Chain A
């Protein structure tokens, strides 16, 4: 029986649950020393001097490095992987991004010096003795204020703090549509800045082997080969052949572990200088102030509708915070992963979006679960809901009226993407039914009887994932290909090792990919081993992000399996003395059609490795095939999420009483893992909507939400038991028909929750509220809007 579609239990969980995982911090190398990074307490300051003399003689200190040491050694800056061009055709501004700062700090937490000592405690103690002469300067913190004239400048290279001023779409068509519109809806909104908060803080160990001249970096990365490429080629100038990057078990990433971080370069470089392994592990407070943050958009949006409530045009203007430096993929998030999604699930014929990316004296901002797509979905679904309200229409009906028709695929949007498949009507109907929307008004009345404000909110979404066709993204400024690589290695006695460039840090690849291979090769799942995360083992890899692992990485495995089967068929034809065309492969056996003569995969494999009776003229020995797969298009998961909330007007406290998610992820290999992904995404999406918000002091740039005292993560008791369902329209351009599910929850939930809150607050005349809808914010809003009479 096929294991595809079965809820196979996660094979990796045994080692995680029993504490047997090997995370970077679990690794200790012989002779290892420890790095402590001295960080800036100021958001913006000139460095007049760094006196390390007292620290250098402190007990246990091996070395102290500053940016000058790294610069003198020719160490380069951390590169940005995507070049955006402004409206006028000019390339974005790319200021230097040295691993250790040289003469200026640009955010609280910026790396000032690295202290290397025999023990971590000694390194920390010595760091206390470093005297840094900071000359404090005004800081630009708020992204909108940072664009104004007279704002403090983050980089001399970027006048007005502007990184780029990008746009997409047909402005003339949009303007013409607004002129003839029957109705125009306008909204200003923010998409709140988030701290990623992976459970495992970042860590890195650099090592240098004097005998071979080879460097090894153990790091908490979602894409070790990408780190090898970036750090080797741009920062430390180490050829790939002399640099191994290992990303062992990684405890969550959510995007924050895609990027090449300064500490990786520091420990690797220092290991080469010192000829000793150098280890660094982030404290949780360092994670808060150095992991790339997410979101942080300020947006004005306008929607034009005709008299039949059909969308005519959408016009969007966004200010996106880049932080102090360009993180690895920061620049593509508020552009090609955002503007291209603004059609959503709708037929809006004309769309125009412009994004100003701004430098501020804050931690760099980059992809965080969903990356651009939650921002796009939030604004679309907010303004559609607002339109429904202003038109007095049922929000589900307004959406249906504007959905892309079931028979319209492939559907070309006005913002570059072409959707291959989908069915938004069925997905929405599934959700409406599961959420019992019909019975909502009765529930609202019942809640009102208890003094609670109850609201229901719908959000649909589309996501572009399975990232990405290399030629397409290359034409848009990507400086990397986004294919994936896999090797399927059939061993002599028939067990199989799969080497995949996708990295698993919670996604369950060791299970899903094994299901895929067990099914494809007709062997027990126990015979399949999935190996990932080591550039010395895996031929190549672009890593895990953008819900690409199954759609791109899984397809690469399928392609490699196809090659194994093709070669196996030739070997089997030889052994069975049959024509290759007559040999078919099914359920792990090569058989001659119409006969009972067959060879198992294991028999064929043994022949391949013990090639005594083997077609040597035609074939090489061995059964080990590698494939690279470059996707033909993005995949387009979609869904409808429905939130039902109750607000206590006396306290502002929100209870999410129901949450229904109906998603189309294409074909599903392991429904249990898919559910887990949806649960996690929903928790993060609900967290963004209700609890999470990164706050900097707007004057000084101090990080005010720098610990779990002040940054609220969702907990189990903040969440209801989710009602999940799926509607399957297979992806048309990958052989698995899969679309990806990793980010969906975080994309749909913020808009669904906010729409539900606004629905609950409508009787008070509230038309919008920004996230996170904390009890304090809601309570104040309710107090402001309560009429004096009603308050009695």
Chain B
């Protein structure tokens, strides 16, 4: 199931710092919800393992991510795929641009992604809202890591994937370049993942973390109980 998403995010940190953060396994590990390990295999390759938990359900996902078209600290293309075993797969690529904006950095991204197997069969309606929740978590943590003084309450991010209070799920129109976090929320209802939506989704986690969480939700919906 192909999807396209574009968006941008303003990070209150210098561009070089953002670039370094996006390439720092430790920062990524602490930013991706449920990330257990992230290894830099080479200068352009990461391997990640994510334990996703939704309610009582846990599932392990493994993914690899590859960087290309590197033009530090301006842009790169990131491509990856994550396998959730019997849950199916997610794969995609994103073109990422970092633009300086005063002392801050605006991260633009354009994602193309596919999910397959049960992820597409059962999870397609969940992906949008899950992606938004994860994006919020990711950016909260990422900002805390690269610009600690600008972060609100980094400790709040430990709530993992169920962190969004319902009052945040308001149908605010997406506002490119607006302050992070505030306008992130699920679509009201029934709006499928069609095209060109302004979703605040960091591509790094798209390929692994998203697959993980959706997979976990799938398992939940299909009655699976994993205990490990």
Contact = CB atoms under 8 A, between A and B. Distances in A.
A103 interface: no
A702 B119 CA distance: 9
Contacts of B88: 41
B133 interface: no
Nearest to A697: B1
A700 B116 CA distance: 8
A12 interface: no
B121 interface: yes
Nearest to B85: A128
B124 interface: yes
B109 interface: no
Interface residues of B, number: 25
A652 to B, nearest CB: 14
Main secondary structure of the interface of A (DSSP, over half): loop
Interface in B1-25: 1-2
A358 B228 CA distance: 45
Nearest to B121: A706
A53 interface: no
Describe B's contact surface by its main secondary structure: mixed
Given A124-B86, A124-B224, A285 B1 contact: no
B117 interface: yes
B124 A710 contact: yes
B86 A289 contact: no
Contacts of B47: none
A41 B116 contact: yes
Contact of B1 (A40, A124, A704, A709): A704
A700 B121 contact: no
B122 A707 contact: yes
Interface in A108-124: 108, 121, 124
Interface string B192-228: 0000000000000000000000000000011111101
A702 B88 CA distance: 11
B115 interface: yes
Interface string B38-56: 0000000000000000000
A38 interface: yes
Given A285-B222, A704-B1, A41 B89 contact: yes
Contacts of B125: 709-710
Contact of A42 (B116, B121, B221): B116
A650 interface: no
A34 interface: no
Interface string A724-768: 000000000000000000000000000000000000000000000
A40 B2 CA distance: 17
B95 interface: no
Max chain A CB contacts within 10 Å: which of B86, B121, B122?
B121
A699 B114 CA distance: 11
B120 interface: yes
A700 B124 contact: no
A125 B122 contact: no
B117 A39 contact: yes
Contacts of A40: 117
A710 B127 CA distance: 14
A40 B116 CA distance: 9
Given A697-B120, A707-B121, A709-B125, A125 B2 contact: no
B85 to A, nearest CB: 4
B80 to A, nearest CB: 15
B141 interface: no
Most interface-central of A41, A130, A289 (chain B CB within 10 A):
A41
Contacts of A376: none
B121 A702 contact: yes
B116 A285 contact: no
Nearest to B228: A125
A134 to B, nearest CB: 9
B120 A706 contact: yes
A161 B219 CA distance: 36
Contacts of B224: 124
A288 interface: yes
B86 A285 contact: no
Interface in B67-124: 85-86, 88-89, 114-122, 124
A42 B88 CA distance: 9
A703 B115 CA distance: 11
A709 B226 CA distance: 23
A283 interface: yes
Contacts of B222: 283-285
Given A41-B89, A108-B116, A124-B224, A700 B1 contact: yes
A767 to B, nearest CB: 28
Nearest to A125: B226
A127 interface: yes
Interface string A676-717: 000000000000000000000101101110110110000000
A699 B120 CA distance: 13
Nearest to B1: A702
Contacts of B223: 283
Contact of B117 (A108, A284, A699, A707): A108
Given A41-B89, A41-B116, A285-B118, A704 B226 contact: no
B127 to A, nearest CB: 12
Contact of A288 (B2, B121, B221, B228): B121
B85 A704 contact: no
A704 to B, nearest CB: 6
A386 to B, nearest CB: 33
Nearest to A40: B117
A285 B121 contact: yes
Interface in B121-150: 121-122, 124-125
Nearest to A705: B121
Given A697-B1, A710-B125, A702 B86 contact: no
Given A702-B115, A704-B1, A127 B86 contact: yes
A700 B117 contact: no
Contact of B2 (A285, A289, A700, A706): A700
Contacts of B118: 41, 285, 706
Given A128-B85, A285-B222, A697-B1, A41 B124 contact: no
Nearest to A45: B116
Given A108-B117, A128-B86, A704 B124 contact: yes
Contacts of B2: 697, 699-700
A108 B85 CA distance: 14
B122 A285 contact: yes
A636 B144 CA distance: 75
A706 B88 CA distance: 13
A526 to B, nearest CB: 42
A702 B122 contact: no
B86 A108 contact: no
Nearest to B225: A121
Of the candidates B89, B124, B221, B224, the one having the most CB atoms from chain A within 10 angstroms of its own CB is B124
Contacts of A700: 1-2, 114, 116, 120
A702 B116 contact: yes
Nearest to B91: A136
Nearest to A127: B86
A119 to B, nearest CB: 12
Contacts of A127: 85-86
A691 to B, nearest CB: 15
B117 A709 contact: no
A710 B222 CA distance: 15
Contacts of A108: 116-117, 120-121
A127 B89 CA distance: 15
9 contacts: A41-B89, A42-B116, A108-B116, A128-B60, A129-B85, A700-B114, A706-B118, A706-B121, A710-B125
Q: Which 5 interchain pairs have the tightest Cβ spacing?
A: A41-B117, A706-B121, A128-B85, A702-B120, A41-B88
Interface of A: 38-42, 108, 121, 124-125, 127-130, 283-285, 288-289, 697, 699-700, 702-704, 706-707, 709-710
Given A41-B118, A124-B224, A285-B118, 12 more contacts: A39-B117, A108-B116, A128-B86, A283-B223, A285-B121, A700-B116, A702-B1, A702-B116, A704-B124, A706-B120, A707-B221, A709-B125
